[in-house]
Chains A and B, each alone.
Chain A
Amino acid sequence: MNLRRLFDPDSIAVIGASATEGKLGYEAMKNVADFAGPLHPVNPNAEGAVFGHAFVDRVGDIEDTVDLALIAVPAPAVPDVIAECGEAGVGGAIVYAGGFAEVDERGEQLQERLAEAANAHDVAVLGPNISGYFMPHQGIYTSFASNPDVVQPGNVAVVAQSGGIAHSLAFQGVNDDWGFSGIVPLGNRAVIDFPPVIEYFDSDPRTDAILLHVEGTADARAMLETCRDVETPVAALPVGEHDVDEFAASHTGALTGDFDLYEAGFRQYGTPVLRSTTGLLDAGHALANAPIPDGTNVGVVTGQAGPGIVIADRLQGHGATLPALAEETQETISAVLPGITYAENPVDTGRPMPEFPDLVEAVARDDAIDAVLVYMVYEEAAGFPPSGIAGLPTELGTPIVFATDGPEAFVEDSLDAMEDGGVPSYLTPERGADALAALLEYGRLNRDGGGE
C-alpha cells in the first residue's frame, strides 16, 4: 500500500464537513483551511460554503482526483464512506471516529468492515480512533489540539500508537525548538500498522531519524524486522512493562512477557530502546543530527567539575568508556592552557576559558575518542557559548553533544546556533548524557556483527 497520497496529498476532501462551529466536521475543515491545494467539503445536507470552499454532496461528485479524505462521520457510517472514497479514486483517508475495536464486539465487526472496504479499494486508511497527523513540511495539521501549526518542520519522524503520545512529543518538540518531518498516530491500526509508515519515513529524504511509541501490535515480528531492514536510524519507546502473561504453562512462558520481547527484539534488530517520552525525543534528535560514532569511547569536556562527574557516571552506567587521552592530546591541552585543572578525561577547565572550543577539537581529534560530550553552564565570562564547536562534527566526523544549564530564554539562541553546526544540544547534564548514550547504543547495535 503506497502512503504517498495519504501523507503528502495534493488535494483534500473533508467528508462530513460542517459550517457549524464546534462540530467535528467544522474543526476538521478548520485544521486544513489553509491547505495550499484544492480542498473540498463534502456533505449532502449542507449548502453554500465553509472557509470559502463550496460544499459538494458526494466525494464522487468532485471533478479532480482527491488524494486524502478526512472522514468526520460517526463510526457506523465509516465503512460505506470508505467504499465510496475508494470508488472515487481517493488514495488515503484519516478516520477520526472512535467506537470500533476499542469498545466492543460490534465495534470490532465495524472495524473489520472498514478494513475490508479499504483493502478492496486500496485506500490507505489511518486509524480509526485517532486525532490526525502533523506534516509540518506540507503545512498539514489534521490534529484537533489547539494551535497545532506551532509544530515546526524538521528531520525527525514520530510513529505513535497513541494520539496522546503523538501530541506529547509534538509539543515537547515545540518547547525544545525542534521540528518534525511528520508525526503520525496509528490508533486502532485497522489497515495501516507500523511497517508501512516506518518504510514511508525511511524513504522520505526529509527524515533522518524515526521514533516509535509501541503499546503492542498483532504482528510484532513484522514491525521489528522492518526496523532491522530500514536504513534510517530508529529508536523506540515500548510500554507495558508490568503487563504479565497469565496463561503460560512453562517457566519460560511465564518469564517471557511481551514487553521483554519488544525490548530485546528492538535491540537485537538494531533499535535503541528508551524509557521515557523525553528520552525518546532526545535520542531521536541526536540520531537525526549527529554522525553515528564508531565506538563507545567518550571524551568529556566540561567547564564545571560537578556536572562533568554526573555526566561521566551516567555515561559509564550506559556502558560507555572514558579512556585516557593520548599523550599528544594532553600536550595540546597543556599548551592551550598550562596548569589546567584536570587534563585527563573528563577534561575539566574549571575557569574562564575562551579557548574552550580548541580543547574540544583536540579531544575530538584524539584517535581513542569516538564521541565528545561538552558541558558548560550559562556564564558568558567563562566563554559561553562555546560557538567554535559548531561545525566540528561535520569537519571531523566525530559526534559532539552539548549540554548546558541556564535560563531557556537566554540560552536558546546559542543552542540553535550549536544545532545548526551539527551539535545536538540539551538542557541538563542528564539529558545530554542520555542522548549521547542512545547514539552510542545505536552505533554499537548496528556495527558489523550486529547484536549486543
Chain B
Amino acid sequence: MSGPIETARDEGRRSLTEAEAKKLLDDAGVEVPAFREVDTEDEAVVAAESIGYPVVAKVASPEVQHKSEWGDGAGVALGLDSAEAVREAAAKILDRAAEAAIEASVLVEAAADVDAGTEVIVGGVRKRSFGPTVLVGLGGVFTEVLEDVSHRLAPVDRDEARAAIDELAGAQLLAGYRGHPAADLDALAGVVVTVGDLLEAHDGVAEIDVNPVLATEDGAVALDALVLLTEDA
C-alpha cells in the first residue's frame, strides 16, 4: 500500500505536506476542514466555490514548514470571502513561490470560526528510549509559556486520553467556564488516541504536531498538522 508517507519517502522528503498530513488524519477518523490543493488561481476559485466561503488559502510546499512566516506574510491568507479575494491570495502565493524558485501549490480550506472553540495542541513523538508517546495541551500561551501539557506513552485508550486532558492545569477552560460551553472532550480524546495509534502503526513517523486542534462543543477539528518522518526508512 502506498500512502503519503511512502510517497514523501520516495521523494526524499522528511516531512509530509499539510494536505498529506491532513489526509492521514482524515483517513484515521480525525475531523479536518474541507480542503483542496490546487495549482492555479482559477482552480483556487473553483475550489473555494465548491467548499463555500469564507476560506483560507495557504502555501503548500514540502519546502515551507512555517507557512505564516513565509513570503512576507503571503503564506497564509485568512477569511477570504469572495472569488476576487481568493484569486488575489492564490496569485500572491504562486508569485512568491516562483520568485523563490520553489515548487508550491495552494491549499484552499474551509475557514474555521476559531472564536467558537478553544485551541488545543495534540502531538506525538517517537523517543528512542520510550517508543511512541503522545501529548495534549492548551494552545498558544498555555503551551508556549506555561508548558501546561500532559504526556502519555502510546498507545492510549480513550479513558487514558481523557485523564491526560483532565489533569491539565487549564482543563477548566475546556470543561466550560463563564458561559462558554464545554468542549466535546470525548472527541478531543479521540484525536489523542488517533495520534498515538498513527505513531504505533507507522514506524517511519517521528513526530506529529496537530496544532491547533479546535475543540468546540460539537467536536474537535484539526486546523493544522505537521508530520515529520524518521531519518532511516
Residues in chain A within 8 A of chain B (CB atoms): 216-221, 224, 248-253, 255-256, 258, 260-261, 263-265, 268-269, 449-452
Contact = CB atoms under 8 A, between A and B. Distances in A.
A287 to B, nearest CB: 22
A247 B124 CA distance: 15
B163 A252 contact: no
A218 B129 contact: yes
A251 B226 CA distance: 10
Contacts of B124: 252
Given A251-B121, A253-B125, A221 B151 contact: no
Main secondary structure of the interface of B (DSSP, over half): strand
B207 A255 contact: no
Contact of A258 (B123, B127, B131, B152): B127
B159 to A, nearest CB: 6
A251 B151 contact: no
Contacts of A449: 159
Given A219-B129, A261-B153, A252 B159 contact: no
B129 A221 contact: yes
B228 to A, nearest CB: 6
B167 interface: yes
A258 B129 CA distance: 9
B49 interface: no
Contacts of A252: 121, 123-125, 135, 207-209, 211
Contacts of A268: 152-153, 156, 160
B159 A255 contact: no
Contacts of B57: none
**Leading 3 A-B pairs by shortest Cβ distance:** A252-B123, A264-B151, A452-B163
B133 interface: yes
Contacts, number: 90
B143 interface: yes
B166 interface: yes
B149 interface: yes
Contacts of A264: 150-153, 164
Contacts of B135: 252, 255-256
A251 B129 contact: no
B137 interface: yes
Given A251-B209, A253-B125, A256-B135, 15 more contacts: A217-B129, A221-B131, A250-B125, A250-B207, A250-B226, A250-B228, A251-B123, A252-B207, A258-B130, A261-B127, A261-B153, A265-B130, A265-B152, A451-B160, A452-B166
Interface string B90-119: 000000000000000000000000000000
A451 B135 CA distance: 15
B147 interface: yes
B159 A256 contact: no
26 contacts: A216-B129, A219-B129, A221-B129, A221-B130, A249-B207, A249-B228, A250-B125, A252-B124, A252-B207, A252-B208, A255-B123, A255-B137, A255-B143, A255-B147, A256-B125, A256-B127, A256-B135, A256-B151, A261-B127, A264-B150, A264-B151, A265-B152, A268-B152, A451-B159, A452-B163, A452-B164
Contacts of A258: 127, 129-130
A249 B14 CA distance: 11
Contacts of B163: 451-452
Contacts of A219: 129
Nearest to B153: A265
Interface in B60-94: none
A261 B151 contact: yes
Contacts of B121: 251-252
Nearest to A228: B153
Contacts of B129: 216-221, 258
Contacts of B209: 250-252
A131 to B, nearest CB: 26
A361 B84 CA distance: 79
Interface in B166-219: 166-167, 206-209, 211
Contacts of B127: 220, 256, 258, 261
Nearest to A225: B153
B143 A221 contact: no
B153 A221 contact: yes
B153 A224 contact: yes
B60 to A, nearest CB: 18
Contacts of A255: 123, 135, 137, 143, 147, 149
